[in-house]
Copies of this chain bind each other. A is one copy, B any other.
């Protein structure tokens, strides 16, 4: 067989590990040839390829980014997109395509297979960890580790200066990175998109800490966290240059905390540091397992599927299932965070931050 591979959407630690695994298992085990398509879906649309073999994938396992580069090109934005891809496949003798990507990329892969009968399967990728169908995606563990390292560093400054430090992390629709790095770093308040925020309660939580003698607080905010006060998603606001990350939710919340409590507050926006650089060992292993499973699936012509982590094993699931719904933070994990923070939960309504159960009498 002659199989293609592409990487779509945002950067994610582990992409190269998937590419390497696909190539190595293919070359060493199956003897299939692997063709790399450049820049996401632009590659198969325009037939822009690069040869992939043992030599060209040597040494890429520990490297972030993707040697195939990526883009947000969407073939369905062109009338002839699917036909152009089919033509590329025919011209280059491609028997199937492995598309590594997130919600958008996998959605395209699913439609190309389901609606146009093209031989495509997917590999799930998102640092946000919010894809359906799989318990975990590679890149997430690295992002959580980078954010946790940052919280560890912020902690000593917060303590030494009696300050409130706000850290904005990624997570537009799901708060997994904020929740897990907040738990791992011992944050005092964690704000996620799944639970709209009442800022008055955040300030109260910080003031309770001060009254108990802890004169500093660490607040972790997902970029998609919502304010309960207003209807709009403040994290979704962008300026004329598309810069939602700066002047975004983290900064706004930092200013409000300082204004309302009078405590000196500083905000750090982690930004792209979370999605670049060498993957953690966990992500390298998961990405390698996904890559091996993908080439096995391609060899078996299981188009329209993707590998998923389930109960510690890799299984094939339908692409349609994975893109059907977003996987938001679990109630159980959220309650773990609340348990650690232990602030009074306001009575009449559901908790709107990770702010703990009330102590029993």
Taking beta carbons and an 8 Å cutoff, which residues of A are in contact with B? 7, 10-11, 13, 15, 20-21, 24-25, 27-32, 61-66, 69-71, 135-136, 141, 144-150, 152-162, 165, 180-181, 183-186, 241, 243, 245-247, 251, 254-255, 258-259, 265-273, 275-278, 280-282, 284-285, 288-289, 292, 310-314, 330, 332-333, 335-336, 339-342, 356-361
Asked if A272 contacts B340 (CB within 8 A), the reply is no
A340 to B20, CA, bound (A): 9
Asked if A246 contacts B272 (CB within 8 A), the reply is no
Give the distance to chain B from A284, nearest Cβ to Cβ, in Å. 4
When distances are taken between beta carbons in the complex, the residues of chain B under 8 Å from A181 are: 281
When distances are taken between beta carbons in the complex, the residues of chain B under 8 Å from A243 are: 251, 254-255, 266-267
- Beyond A162-B69, A314-B332, is A152–B288 a contact (Cβ under 8 Å)? no
When distances are taken between beta carbons in the complex, the residues of chain B under 8 Å from A340 are: 20-21, 24-25, 288, 292
Asked if A31 contacts B361 (CB within 8 A), the reply is yes
When distances are taken between beta carbons in the complex, the residues of chain B under 8 Å from A281 are: 141, 144-145, 147-148, 180-181, 184-185
When distances are taken between beta carbons in the complex, the residues of chain B under 8 Å from A71 are: 161
When distances are taken between beta carbons in the complex, the residues of chain B under 8 Å from A156 are: 11, 13, 63-65, 276-277
A288 to B282, CA, bound (A): 18
In this complex, the member of A13, A312, A361 whose beta carbon has the largest number of chain B beta carbons within 10 angstroms is A312
Task: Closest B residue to A264 by CB, please name it.
Answer: B242
Asked if B159 contacts A356 (CB within 8 A), the reply is no
Give the distance to chain B from A219, nearest Cβ to Cβ, in Å. 13
Q: A21-B339, A28-B339 are in contact. List 9 more A-B contacts (CB 8 A).
A: A24-B340, A62-B185, A64-B157, A144-B285, A146-B153, A154-B272, A183-B284, A184-B284, A267-B271
When distances are taken between beta carbons in the complex, the residues of chain B under 8 Å from A184 are: 61, 281-282, 284-285, 288
Asked if B157 contacts A339 (CB within 8 A), the reply is no
Task: Closest B residue to A29 by CB, please name it.
Answer: B357
A150 to B149, CA, bound (A): 12
- Beyond A251-B246, A254-B243, is A153–B359 a contact (Cβ under 8 Å)? no
Give the distance to chain B from A359, nearest Cβ to Cβ, in Å. 5
Complex partner residue of A65 from B157, B254, B278, CB under 8 angstroms: B157
Complex partner residue of A70 from B160, B335, B358, CB under 8 angstroms: B160
Asked if B141 contacts A282 (CB within 8 A), the reply is yes
When distances are taken between beta carbons in the complex, the residues of chain B under 8 Å from A258 are: 241
Asked if B11 contacts A160 (CB within 8 A), the reply is yes
Give the distance to chain B from A258, nearest Cβ to Cβ, in Å. 6
